[in-house]
Structure 1
Amino acid sequence: MISTLYFFALLSSAMAWGHVGLWKERSARNETEDGSGDRCACDAFLPGSTFPLRDLVVVEQTAVEIYHKLELELGKLENYETKLTEYSEKIIKLTVEVEKIEKNPDAYNEADKDEIKVKIKQVEALAKELQLSIRSSTTIFRSLRVQVTAMEETLTRLEKTYDKNVVLATRREYIKVQMQLEECERRHQELFNPNIGSCAHTGIIKVGKPVVSHLNAHLNAGYKFGGWGRDSKPVPDRESMYWYSGYTSSSIVDIRFYTNYNSLILRNHFQHHNLHSGWYGTGNNFIIRDNTLYYQINSPFGLAKLNFTTMRYESRVIAKASTRFSYANSPNQNFDFAADETGLWVTYATAESSGRMVIAKINEPSFGVEEEWQTSVFKPGVNNAFMVCGVLYAVRTVDIQTDEIFYKYDTRTRQESYISVPFVRFQEKYSNLDYNPTDQKLYMYNDGYYVNYHLWFNHTTKATVAPPYRRT
């Protein structure tokens, strides 16, 4: 028989960790061991193991340390911005002085030329110093990303095994750190990635690990259909804006806008538009471009756009496009909108093409098709596709954890090829995968979660910067 003191000690322990519900009365009547006497009996279902408080404390301490490091790195980034501005001004002035000397060398003596040489060497030294600082920050961000990932794994393990409410406070600290790290990485990339917006490469060579931001704004894993991301051609003052739309089916019923990444994570939207009667869409390969939603409609079957600045709605029908062919894992994805460095695109399949994907270039002002390209890839065998620098990339499943970019079609050269660029999925299925040229990332809506991937390109002097798209 359990002693009274020990019994209440166990009960107190269970209550402290939220396990009061694990205690239940065996009988509503008194009974003895032989069934006729006077004894109250209870069954006690105690946790199988002690809550690992040490793990939670370590995560909290790590969160504090990382947050302080990120505060320091943000300060460095601000300093980098100032230095970049100063160095740019010095380089411009030096360029002007050198041009003057080249045009009229006889007007300058050797002392003048030596002075210019000294200034050039000074700027070179400053540039090297800044380059070393940038590399140092990059190394720190990679290290912190590893720590943050480990924190996420620990918290997820604790939430699966123990009461989520116990872990909630630490989870908030983790989210705070994650947002700060994302902000640092974003600013670092925007400052020091000269290739953003450039097509001076020969294609994708690597996809980064999945960066999982959060469960959707509805906090509902049942919202498996939808999309999220950034505006591919943001209007002024909305460069940092994010958007999200999700639902339990492939219908598009509303959309939310967030001023920045922090607001997205905190689910604090500044605009919420319901696509009321007449504006409903379907499929999940919609995008936001120039503060305009481009998406698929079924009545009539075709393309639609809704400008959120003017609230003007337009639709177009592509007669050859078929409702029979969708992506492998998602229904009703007959039209797939995409945006890249060269403009706006849409892909679909036709009965005439026997289900093979067709690429179409969209004229944004007129919302008409400018030109089409026929590919040889069968759409129902593809999970999703996206455009980068006028090149279509198609994705398929490799195994339960891996997808791969397996096919590309270059609209400039009309050449297609099979490639293999694997990447890891966070969850089993995804309904939306789009490239954004403003940060060169892939945005995936993965079974209700916001996920993104960094892309690496094969930069080469043989490739040229893609000019604005021109019909040929």
Structure 2
Amino acid sequence: MNTCRIQMQCLSAVVFILLKAMMKFYTLILLCCLFNFTQQLNQQDRCVCELTNKEKAFPHETLNSVNENAAKCSHTVSPQKALELESQLLGLKLRLPQLLKDVSILEKEDDGKLYGVVSLQVIENELVEIKNMVDRLNRTTQGFQHLTTDSGRQLMHLKEELQELELYDSLQVEKSRKANLRLKRDLEICRNDAQPTPHPDSVQTSDVCPHGKFVNITGPKFYSKGESTVNHKYGGWGRDPKPELGKENWYWRVILNVNNIYANHITFYSSLSSLTVGIKLPGNFDISPSNPTTNTIQGPNVVLYGDALFYNCYNSDRLCRFNVTSKTVSTLQLPKGTRYNSKGNFCHFSECYLYTDFDLATDESGVWLIYSTVHDFGNLVLAKVEEGDPPTVNQTWYTSVYKETVTNTFMACGILYATRFVNDTMEEIFYSFDTSTGEEKFKLGIFFRKMCPDINFLNYSPRDQMLHVYCDGYMVSYDFLFE
């Protein structure tokens, strides 16, 4: 019995061991099958995504080419090109009247002998010079015609390339931007039509200049002596930046006496043409008697603003304001130590411009006074003159540029500019003072061509963005270019 029990236990143990071994064997087989299935799935049934861009690649090279061609076009077509043609036309315009004058003299005084021969030789030389000027003008004109044709062709090509580039604006960003710009422009026009532009009461600074940044001067655009003689070399002229109704087209002119010290009246002209030919309508407005009085104009630096003439009172350190309508004069006493009576003039190298102690200027914000004092070492002092009767000074700025190293000054958008003498045919705007920031710049390097060696009067007109100059009896104007 015991032997049979032992045999049964042994058999059970063997069966258990066999069952356990078979279970491990099947488990191993299942794992192998699962592993093979997984391998087959990763190799044969995995998901692969391919991205296909149906849009054309953006032509960056074309864009770079457009930018380069636009830059070349801007460099080729510049204001200097127009200035070159304008200067040649002006030179020819000046030589032709001189030739006509010489011919008239010859016709009157020809004695049929040596005088006529010499005069004919002079006229022949003048004709040769004029012919050379005409030839240069023709060459310049032909060059400009080719430049215009080439530039027009290039602009059309640039336009086509830009239109092609706009096709890549699939999100309509550029189209929406242009639509917004047009809408903004139309809104601004509508607003300006609904509300007339008021005259500014506060100082316009460079940050809020309605025209942008001042960059250059071109011209001259206008050049005339009017009806005056060369003996009256000092004076001033221009337009009222804030005219009364009906006087929008008027021009004014002040001419000092033959001693170039004082003037007694201001003359008005109904238009620029009237000023050119000397038609005095509405005519002279007397300020003081012929003999100088305390209300007499002293020096050439005068300005007209709001139907009132501002100037240096005769033999005094006071500012005068002459009301054109009421013909009354009010004055403003300047600080003690202010230089006057030709003790603080504009100068260059070896010459000073007499009785230029005070310089009046206009810009978008009103009237400015530039002078010097003994307390500030003769440096330029700038004051904002406020409208009123009598006038007052609102604010004063002190600069570090010596007044006698300056030939003239003017204001534009709250910035003071100073000029200096280069030579008889060239003047430089070398200095600026920004009233909004107090920043001074001494190396502006803006040059413009002069029609006379000495500039006796210089003022910016915010009404037409012109620079008005008076020199040796001539009235000259230049275009004021903003960025």
Find the residue that maps to 1:403 and give its secondary structure: strand
Counterpart in 2 of 1:326? Answer: 345
One-letter amino acid matched to 1:325: G
Say which SS state the counterpart of residue 333 (structure 1) adopts: coil
Distance 2:211 2:230 in 1: 38
The 2-side partners of 1:229 and 1:23 are apart by 46
Structure 2 residue aligned with 1:445 = 470
Are the equivalent residues in 1 in contact too, given 2:458–2:467 (CA < 8 A)? yes
Secondary structure of 2:120's match?
A: coil
1:224, 1:447 within 8 Å by CA — same for their partners in 2?
yes
Tell me how far 1:23 sits from its aligned partner. 1.9
Matches within 5 A, 1:165-244: 199-200=209-210, 203-218=213-228, 220-244=229-253
Which whole-Å deviations, capped at 9, do the CAs of 1:319-358 have from their partners, x for residues lacking one?
2311221111411111111111112110110111000001
Give the distance between the partners of 2:249 and 2:285, measured in 1 at CA.
Answer: 19
Tell me whether 443-452 or 313-322 shows the greater mean CA deviation.
313-322
2:480 to 450, 455, 463: 455
CA contact (8 A) 2:287 2:322 kept: no
Distance 1:374 1:457 in 2: 26
Paired letter, 1:23: D
1:262 to 253, 269, 273: 273
1:251 is aligned to 262
Identify the match of residue 358 of structure 2 among 335, 348, 355.
335
Describe the shift of the 1:353–1:44 C-alpha distance in structure 2 as closer, same or farther (beyond 3 A): closer
* Cα displacement (A) at 1:426: 0.6
Q: Aligned AA for 2:413?
A: C
Q: 1:431 to 1:17 in 2, by over 3 A?
A: closer
The structure-2 alpha-carbon separation of the partners of 1:415 and 1:17, relative to structure 1 and needing over 3 Å to count, comes to: closer
Superposition deviation, residue 48 in structure 1: 2.9
Shift of 1:254: 2.2
1:345 is aligned to: 368
SS at match of 2:273: helix
Deviation per residue, 1:34-53 (Å, 9 max, x gap): xxxxxxxx76643334967x
Could you say if the C-alpha distance between residues 314 and 376 of structure 1 is closer, same or farther in structure 2, counting changes exceeding 3 Å? Answer: same
Deviations 1:343-402 (A, max 9, x none): 211011011100000110111114011110000111000000011111100001122311
Aligned to 1:432: 457
1:48 counterpart residue number: 120
* 1:315 paired residue number: 331
Write the distance in 2 (CA, Å) between the matches of 1:49 and 1:250: 42
Q: Does 1:396 align with 2:396?
A: no
Please identify, of 240-249 and 271-280, the stretch whose mean Cα deviation from structure 2 is larger: 271-280
Cα distance, 1:261 vs. partner?
A: 0.7
Distance 1:267 1:290 in 2: 24
Q: Is 1:302 aligned to 2:280, yes or no?
A: no
Larger radius of gyration: 2
Instruction: Give the 3 Å change call, closer, same or farther, for CA 23–258 of structure 1 in structure 2.
Output: same
Identity of aligned residues (%): 28
Cα deviation for residue 210 of structure 1 reads 1.7
Partner SS for 1:409: strand
- Inter-CA distance 256–417: structure 2 relative to 1 (3 Å threshold): same
What residue number does 1:360 align with?
383
> Which secondary structure does the structure 2 equivalent of 1:387 belong to?
strand
Distance of aligned partners of 1:355 and 1:23 in 2 relative to their CA distance in 1, 3 Å threshold: same
| 1:398 partner SS | strand
Give 3-state SS (helix, strand or coil) of 1:300's partner. coil
Query: Would the aligned equivalents of 1:212 and 1:449 in 2 still touch at CA under 8 Å?
Result: no
**CA positional deviation for 1:18:** 4.4
- Aligned twin of 2:309: 293
Give the superposition deviation at 1:305.
0.8
Distance 2:409 2:103 in 1: 51
Assess, with a 3 A threshold, how the Cα gap between structure 1 residues 267 and 413 changes in structure 2: closer, same or farther: same
Q: Secondary structure at the match of 1:48?
A: helix
Matches within 5 A, 1:48-197: 48-49=120-121
Structure 1 Cα separation of the partners of residues 210 and 437 of structure 2: 15
Return the alpha-carbon distance in structure 2 between the equivalents of residues 403 and 237 of structure 1: 36
Letter in 1 for 2:378: G
Alpha-carbon distance change, 368 to 50 in structure 1, aligned in 2, over 3 angstroms: closer
Tell me how far apart the structure 2 counterparts of residues 387 and 15 of structure 1 sit (CA, whole Å): 45
**Residues 361 and 460 of structure 2 are in contact (CA less than 8 Å); yes or no, is this contact kept in structure 1?**
yes
Shift of 1:312: 1.6
| In structure 2, C-alpha distance between the alignment counterparts of 1:405 and 1:50, rounded to whole Å | 39
Structure 2 SS opposite 1:208 = strand
- Amino acid in structure 2 at the alignment position of 1:406: F
Q: Specify the code of the residue in structure 1 equivalent to 2:297.
A: G
Contact 1:395 1:406 in 2 (8 A): yes
Q: Which amino acid aligns with 1:377?
A: V
Q: CA deviation at 1:17?
A: 7.1
Q: 1:380 to 1:406 in 2, by over 3 A?
A: same
Report the aligned-residue RMSD. 3.2
Work out which of the residue numbers 408, 411, 425 in structure 2 matches 1:387: 411
Tell me what 1:412 maps to. 436
- Tell me the distance in 2 between the aligned counterparts of 1:16 and 1:341: 48
1:176-222: CA deviation from partner (whole Å, max 9, x where unpaired)? xxxxxxxxxxxxxxxxxxxxxx714663211102234311322x111
Kindly tell me: are residues 216 and 262 of structure 1, through their superposed partners in 2, closer, same or farther at Cα, counting changes over 3 Å?
closer
Matched-pair contact (CA < 8 Å) for 2:298–2:315: no
Q: Helix, strand or coil for the counterpart of 1:262?
A: helix
Answer yes or no: is the 8 Å Cα contact 2:241–2:306 preserved in 1: yes
Residues 363/15 of structure 1: CA separation in 2 closer, same or farther (3 Å cut): closer
TM-score computed with the length of structure 1 as normaliser: 0.57
2:32 is equivalent to residue 21 of structure 1 = no
Q: Which residue of 1 aligns with 2:298?
A: 282
d(CA) in 2 for partners of 1:226, 1:236:
26
CA distance in 2, matches of 1:244, 1:15: 33
